[in-house]
Structure 1
């Protein structure tokens, strides 16, 4: 009996020594951020000189799963295996075994890797007309103090701005967040450069900034762009003067550069006093008004002139 116990102890000691002698398994995960319907590839690796018999994976510290050393899972598979629902972060470890005679020796476990499923930030926006737009990127869950956020316009691959998270959580949502302050003119220029009208954000999941979260849902800026475009087109410098004069004035043709002056002269005759007064309206239009707007400008001047003429006619009739 004592002999058998000794043999068992000897065998266990041999297995433990062999385990310690085996190199640690290395787990590769790509990509580390997926949606439920997307797939992630897991690869449990050993040095090339080691003859691997089987590989095993632990998902969230749960029951080990015997698999081939390279395996692909969907986000839904990992959620089911870890008894979680989206959004979630799934921890995965692995080890391999080597067969020596009747013994199946196991390697040390790999370091833990984390797979993010469905965790994406939320984008909100506050616009201050004529000044700037503030984009807020709210992050789900807990993050590191040095986490960075990235702001994108349209489907651009490179971020327009990068910011560190704020030092305190939001008082309203209790979430960590980043803020981007974009001047109004800069915002319109950036949207024009990508030929799209939306913004989104993501945040770093690793210290090196190479692993990023899924992007937030696009924030539609169509209404803001239309409003600002109309504001820019209609903000022109107009100077109008209505005065009495004698003689005849001829309207000048509009020009594309400098200042365009449109003059309209009319004789207002009063049969009671047998006097005639000339009314001249002059409209100075700053450069930047294109030829398509010339008729509109002239129409506005004629309307102002007509109003002035009626006022003078009433005054002289009195």
Structure 2
């Protein structure tokens, strides 16, 4: 009896080597557990168990597990460091014998990575549109995201969503002008449970009133006060009309002065011709008459 027990101890199978890759994952990522047995032993399955407790699992010696499955196996919650060992059963002289346990290997399981929220453009009016993009990690496959504002209101949309300023104000329960602060997150299903991700950083969208934003804000150089472009256009129009009216008034005044000057010029009464003539025409006519008289006197 004693000799048989001693024989069993001497032929106790060598421990396997456990490798994990990668050593740091999230709940949705996967880790590969490889329980490497000695080359002289032929086995098809291995035992995996965690140092924190839980059931011993019987898997192929090369096994992939998600972070969620590993946490369930170890009865832990993220973030957590899960320590795993493995062993195998080999045959010795026709009987199954367990191996020694491997050294522990650690796997760090982090919480789900938060998404990144981008908004474009960050300043809009009620009638303009803004694009919300809740960018999830590459390892996660989701079709919908949760968007919510810090002032209240949550909506489920595609992770790339376009909203008008009016729709955004309706979700945030605000009225323009307003600064709407938005966050987003996503959920991942594992079996029958759903895990929400951490929330994104806050992104701000400024929604201006369509009326006040119809024209650009300009600076009045005289007073330094801000006036709207609409008021500026009205002022410019008034100045233009005033300039036109002033020009017409000057034109009429000049015409009246010219007419008064012409009416006050002396009238010429040329011999043989009676009537009022323009001064210039009268002088020409007078010079012509004088020239004719001179010719007659010379010929006589």
What TM-score range do you get, normalising by the shorter chain? 0.3 to 0.5
Give 1 or 2 for the bigger CA radius of gyration.
2
Q: Normalising to structure 2: TM-score of the pair?
A: 0.38
